[in-house]
Chains A and B, each alone.
Chain A
Amino acid sequence: MILDFPVKQEEAPIDQSPTPVRRRRTGGTLSGDNGFYLVGSAAAAFSVTFLLGRLTALSGLIGLFFVGYVVFLVLYAVLVSLTEEGIAVRDSVMTVFLSSAAVIAFGALGLVIVYTILRGWPALHHLNFFHEDMSKAGPLAPLTVGGVAHALVGTLWQIGIALVLAVPLGIVCAVYLDQTRSRFANFVRTIVNAMTAFPSILAGLFVYAFWILTLGFQFSGLAAGLALSIMMLPYIIRTSDLVLRLVPAGLRESSDALGAPRWRTMWHVVLPTARSGLATGVILGTARGIGEASPVLLTAGFTTYMNANPLHEPMVSLPLEALELVRSGIPAYADRGYATAALLLVVILILFVIARVIGGFGPGHLSRRQRRRAERHSARELTRITSSQGFTGISSPPGGGAPSARSAQ
């Protein structure tokens, strides 16, 4: 961050030549040579690493990359220290170091996404992949036979059940947290926060212990939906709680001041204002739920045929299908497994983009249609008020109109 304060030029009555304004430096970007230093040390590090890779037993891209990176940092530090002092050298080396953390993390993310989609492409580009199940696809069947339609249907059912259960309960619970300042509310908030990083397999294990072993139901899509809803619940509560807290207090107080009961304030003011944030939280929670394989593994079983009934019989989901196909070790199945993972990834990317687009609007943002609807509504209200008895006219002094209409009724 460069903080540039406008430097006021001193009035120089005698000497008319303007003194050059020096830009104040606050660390960070060094002299103009910095770019050359970076490029130079990167090139040197690359050549050194290339030689090292040839001369030593070190193999593997990742190991070479790591060595090259260390060499690069050292060379860069040496180059900077030619012109700068110790503190500035430390600053510039740490800047490069922190930036490289970002490069590593996002590079890994990019590798994961690109690898999964490329690896899944051979099976993914056959249309049958989307509308057939695996019951006819033997280990040697070509990729033009069989698909993951059954897992797609299973995922839709399971996430649908989970959403129906978790979203209302989660949002109402968040409303409770927003409304109350009691010790119990703090307790609920603490528990919910602690549960957001809760191992998802335990949600599956609980449903297995309760629903299947104790109550005696079968493995089914419903059981998986229950497990997913338990997993998603803390996440939805937490995000909704955070979003509701962002609603400006002025809006609530205006509503209270107009005499609205609590539930009307919540329903007509707070929830509509927080709508986009709530939707973002729910969509991201959905993305999380769709990707979880372990609760489904314990509660829905595994099957190769289409089962559209969530109450009976095992029902597989996309992540579980991907996992089991790759685990089978059969090459044709592994191809389909990667294609399933790629499909899952694409679904999640789409959900994510939707969430970002919705979440990009701040609280209270109205789309054009919503604004038109609000305008129509106020116009209706205006005619209602003006046509009511005893209305003294809109031309009365400000503040005298609506209240007098109220008191006359």
Chain B
Amino acid sequence: MTVDTPALSVSGPLKAERRSVRSVPGAGDRIFRGSTRLAAVAVVGVIGAVGLFLTIRAYPALAVAKLHFLTTQTWEPDSHRFGVGGILTDTILIALVALVVSVPVSLGLSLFISEIAPKRIQRAMISLVDLMAAVPSVVYALWGVNYLQPHVLGVSRFLSSWFGWIPIFKVVGPASSSILNKGTSFSASTFIVGLTVSLMVIPIQCSVMRESFSQTPLGEREGAYALGGNRWGMITTVVLPFGRGGIIGGTMLGLGRALGETIAVYLIISTVYGINWHILQSGGNSVSALIALQYGDASKFGTSALMAAGLTLFAITLIINFGASAIVSRSRSGAES
């Protein structure tokens, strides 16, 4: 860097020619820069192409359905009555159930790893969380349908018989809350899918939260201790406020993941079209499960309608993920990543 100080810019015989500080890259570097830039453009191009092709393919269906696409609850594309109103609501219900379970667990887990666990087992626990993220969703889904479901039916029945007066816990149907009911009206429900999906979401949320907690400055921690706080006091006054961006961002990333989960919904839920507000009751749907179930035997127009549903999911998850990464990177704890 050349700095123009007044002393040096005196005119006269001393005025030297200014040294050029522009670096002139050689041929190798020009190729290097060009090719890496090309790769970056290609990556953006691929991601843009995903949105572009879904839009092109969805256009015929969207041109017919217009704005009713967002509100219609039925899915009968061949008679031109279709929309994501019902499916999207069911998708969001599943994601909300997943978040209600996963956020407390992942918050507790990340605080445990960053604050309570002894240093020796900290690394092992971080690895376990990564392993949890690496376990395929199909394995969670199979576990959910054959192991978790029979065990959770009791909880469903309990919730519906004691808290049935809350609309979402209500289960309608013949003698649904009776002990004689073997659980057919409780199985394959939004609740069970949500529980299964929560397991897939926990590692994502936990790693984002833990990362932001672990960056809490040591000085602030010790300040809290010096003021006489104990560990929980230190966590509530220092670590949690510092990691707020990480908590919100992690929750939103988990939401994005839960909205897009296919396999668990595809395997567990019994499909209904239209909103099922009773989360404990059998029946539900999600956008991705709809695509997986119907792409094979859909007509040309039906395929276009599925693409429109996919485009909706794409837009929603992209907005959520952008929001999440913006929140994480603007927060104090996320300036690094």
- Interface of A toward B, CB cutoff 8 Å: 1, 3, 26-28, 57-63, 66, 87-88, 90-91, 94-95, 97-102, 104-106, 108-109, 111-113, 115-116, 119, 169-170, 172-173, 175-177, 179-180, 184-185, 187-188, 190-203, 205-206, 208-210, 213-214, 230, 233-234, 237, 242, 261-264, 266, 284, 287-288, 290-294, 297-298, 319-320, 322-323, 326-327, 337-338, 341, 344-345, 348-349, 351-352, 356
Any A CB within 8 A of the CB of B301: no
Task: Tell me the chain B residues, 28-68 only, with Cβ under 8 Å from chain A.
Answer: 28-29, 31-33, 35-37, 39-40, 42-44, 46-47, 49-50, 53-54, 56-57
Q: How far is the CA of A195 from the CA of B134 in the complex (A)?
A: 17
Q: Which residues of A contact B136 (CB under 8 A)?
A: 290-293, 319, 341, 344-345, 348
A324 to chain B, nearest CB (A): 10
A270 to chain B, nearest CB (A): 12
- Interface of B toward A, CB cutoff 8 Å: 25-26, 28-29, 31-33, 35-37, 39-40, 42-44, 46-47, 49-50, 53-54, 56-57, 104-109, 111-113, 115-117, 125, 127-132, 134-143, 145-147, 151-155, 157-158, 161, 179, 199, 202, 204, 206, 222, 225, 229-235, 253, 256-257, 259-263, 266-267, 288, 291-292, 295, 303, 306-307, 310, 313-314, 317-318, 321-322, 324-325, 337
A84 to chain B, nearest CB (A): 10
Q: How far is the CA of A183 from the CA of B137 in the complex (A)?
A: 36
Which 3 A-B residue pairings sit nearest by Cβ, starting from the closest? A60-B154, A199-B260, A27-B230
B105, A337: Cβ atoms closer than 8 Å? no
Per DSSP, chain A at the interface is helix
A207 to chain B, nearest CB (A): 9
B131 to chain A, nearest CB (A): 6
B202, A205: Cβ atoms closer than 8 Å? no
In chain A, what residue has the closest Cβ to B144? A112
A101, B104: Cβ atoms closer than 8 Å? yes
Among A111, A195, A262, point to the contact of B32 (Cβ < 8 A): A262
A292, B233: Cβ atoms closer than 8 Å? no
With A28-B116, A356-B127 already in contact, 7 other A-B pairs whose C-beta atoms are closer than 8 Å: A57-B161, A62-B151, A173-B39, A192-B47, A201-B262, A205-B291, A293-B262
A192, B43: Cβ atoms closer than 8 Å? yes
B155, A62: Cβ atoms closer than 8 Å? yes
Q: How far is the CA of A271 from the CA of B271 in the complex (A)?
A: 49
Query: Which of B37, B129, B138, B257 has the most C-beta atoms of chain A within 10 angstroms of its own C-beta?
Result: B138
A213, B57: Cβ atoms closer than 8 Å? yes
In chain B, what residue has the closest Cβ to A66? B155
Among B107, B131, B137, point to the contact of A109 (Cβ < 8 A): B131
Q: Which residues of A contact B32 (CB under 8 A)?
A: 261-263, 266
A170 to chain B, nearest CB (A): 8
B199, A201: Cβ atoms closer than 8 Å? no
Q: Which residues of B contact A59 (CB under 8 A)?
A: 154, 157
Q: Which residues of A contact B115 (CB under 8 A)?
A: 1, 98
Q: Which residues of B contact A197 (CB under 8 A)?
A: 204, 253, 256-257, 260, 317, 321, 324
B76 to chain A, nearest CB (A): 20
Among A90, A176, A202, A213, point to the contact of B303 (Cβ < 8 A): A213
B53, A27: Cβ atoms closer than 8 Å? no
B127, A99: Cβ atoms closer than 8 Å? no
A322, B142: Cβ atoms closer than 8 Å? yes
Q: How far is the CA of A184 from the CA of B106 in the complex (A)?
A: 34
In chain A, what residue has the closest Cβ to B51? A206
Q: How far is the CA of A95 from the CA of B115 in the complex (A)?
A: 10
Among A91, A104, A264, point to the contact of B230 (Cβ < 8 A): A91
